[in-house]
Amino acid sequence: MTPPDTNRWRTVDIVVASVIAVAFGIIFWAWGLLWNGPADAIPLPGRAVLYGVWLVPAVLGGLIIRKPGAAFFTLTVAALVSVALGSSWGWTLVIQGPLEAAAAELAFAAFGYRNFKAPIALLAATLAGLAAAIYDVFVWYPETSWVSFRLPYILITAASSLVIAGVGSLALTRALANTGVLDRFPAARERPAI
């Protein structure tokens, strides 16, 4: 008898990943209004402390689904949903979302999709934050100084991602597991410590 393929996506995996993605796509759209509205009063690079919200679905999807492509799928679809809703960054998110998602996916892949403990989630979040910030400094802020803007922006974005997307996703996974909604997932049996 052949052992079950634990990396194969089940229907419930696709449904839950899609729900996470759509929910965060809506959150992204609203978060963009905050970023370009009240938070605009905080000058860059300092405003990057809020950046980690945009990377939560990659880490959350990876922690819950625990299959190859989960981090990539959830963040990419969330980015596409925010584009469809009219994100102020428009179609650039069609490129940036998958780049950030691939960076987070790399952390889970590096450990063979077998380790979903806090250090891996924090690594996934930080890698996604680094990818996001590096994309931003070359695409959106190409004329800025490395010393006074780019390096601080990259470091602040990575730190925000570590805390909001990393620690936040661990806490959200634990909270969801405690409600019982994740009972069909390994995340319910192996509640991540934060």
* 5-14, 63-72, 139-148, 163-172: segment of lowest average pLDDT: 5-14
Q: The tokens of 121 are what? A: 């989630």
Domains within the chain, CATH numbers bracketed: 11-189 (1.10.1760)
**What CA–CA distance (Å, rounded) separates 145 from 151?**
9
Q: 152: cis peptide before it, omega within 30°?
A: no
Mean pLDDT, the chain, as a whole number? 93
Query: pLDDT tens digit string along 57-107?
Result: 999 999 999 999 999 999 999 999 999 999 888 888 999 999 999 999 999
The 8-class DSSP code of residue 115 comes to -
Q: Are 108 and 124 in contact (CB under 8 A)?
A: yes
Specify the pLDDT at position 189.
Answer: 80
pTM for the model stands at 0.92
Neighbours of 118 (CB within 10 A): 14
**Percent of the chain beyond pLDDT 70?**
95
pLDDT band for 1, please (50, 70, 90 cuts). Answer: very low
Examine the pLDDT at 4 and tell me if it is beyond 60.
Answer: no
